[in-house]
Structure formats: C-alpha cells, structure tokens
Structure 1
C-alpha cells in the first residue's frame, strides 16, 4: 500500500512539470503602429514565435483585415506580406514585424492584423499556426509610440 501511495505522489509531482515541458512558447501578434505623425495612414504589426526546435527555419506571413458592420472580419485586398523568412530557431522567441500603408479614407475603418507562423525542420511538413492581433505585447523594436500595443487600429 505504501508503494502505491509513493508512486501516486511521484506522478502528481512530475505530471505538471511534464505538461509544462511539452507546451510550446506562446505565439502572439499585436498592432504596434496605428496612424501616427511619423507613419500616417499606416498599421504596423509585430509578432513573436517560439525559437524551437533549434535549427528549424521560421517564417511569418502578415495580413490585414477590416471589421464589417456585423462584427466579422474580412481580408483587405493586397494587404499580405507573403511568407517572410525570419530566421533560424535558436531556442529563444523570435520577433518580427511588417507595416502596411493605405490611402486616406473619408470614413474610418477598424483594422487588425493576422499572422501565420511556419516552423520547418528538414524535409518534414511545416507546422503552421495563426494569431490575430491583441493588446498587451509591448516590444522594444518598431512601435510608435514606444511600447504601443493594441488589438486593432482605427484609420
């Protein structure tokens, strides 16, 4: 009976550590520029992805969407960065960004970014994930003003 209790306790202690070890680092995307004096009529999107597994090729694809009257989102035509090779995984999260500039509008429109993330190692099929922009991810690079992070941008 004592052996069963010891084994059960060991499983309870080790299970959370094993679950944490399997979880990938968080993916995120944020609007870090929205129609500023330095970048008028522009939306900047910054994203982060895990730098694992080491040696994998990492890519991101940035798109812009606009909100319809019913609250759904639609892609903005021609607002797509295409796949961008952003680096080789080195075990730490990797950030990258892309900006889009639009013609001045007579009526305001709410925009957001959507980023696809691709991890490819060797000849295996790539792993792809996607995230829409959200607030709360201030970055040191590219934001205007410094530290700006939002889910959407009103142009």
Structure 2
C-alpha cells in the first residue's frame, strides 16, 4: 500500500538503500551496504520515466512548477551541507565550483543564512557569471593563478 500513483509528479531521492542492513537500521541509509544511486550505479537519472521505491519519491504540490520542482533535490543537498556548517551573517563563505550544487549552495548561504560574503571559485567563466546572478559577491577564475595567491592578495589568507 502506498500513497504514490504511477504518473504522479514527484521529486526523487536518488540514493536508494535496502532498509535492512545495519547502517539502515540505525538511521544511516546514506551508507547502506547495498546502496544504489540513480544515475551513477543504476540508470534513470536523466530518463523521462523511472521506477523508484515509494519511500524515495516525494509528492510535488500542484502549485510548484516543473521548473522549480527539478531543483528540490539539489536544494536538499545544499541545505544539508550548509546546515552542517551553521554559517552566520558574519561569515565569509567560499564555494569551490559553480555547477548545480555550487549554485544552489550560494542561494542557501545568501538567502537562508544571509552570510556576509560568498566567494565562488571556478575555471569556467559562464559558471562564474551564473554564480554572480545567484548571489555571489566575488567570483574568481583560478585558471591562471592559484587560489591561495588570489585570496592572499585580497587579505583573506594569513600565511
């Protein structure tokens, strides 16, 4: 018996655990001994349709657009990562990489935690432009100069 139906709009947790091994039994399904990750080990990550356990599917409310719904899973990762750090409005954060995870992390840092400054490092100019549009205060392309030297020149490193 499940509250999910075929064809229902859902957001999927791509980490599928067995639910029976020791890590699963103590609430740590992310280190399941039989872990399968959709799109990495199993196929379906970018498929139009996929079969997943009901426990890994979360109903998307009707008032959430598809373009917003596709961001649910990346934002859960950004929220989890930043939650472990517990930044404050006086912190300066450095995000290394302006791909999907980096961009969502920037938004969580700026809009949820309201950190003082977000510095983003990447080697691709287009990604750095997206980082700025997503709230980065300072972007660094470290293709030509080592990051430590750039930060040191701006007074961010003590060594």
How does the TM-score come out when normalised to structure 2? 0.20
More helix per residue? 2
More relative contact order, 1 or 2 (CA 8 Å, 6+ apart): 1
Larger Rg belongs to: 1
How does the TM-score come out when normalised to structure 1? 0.20
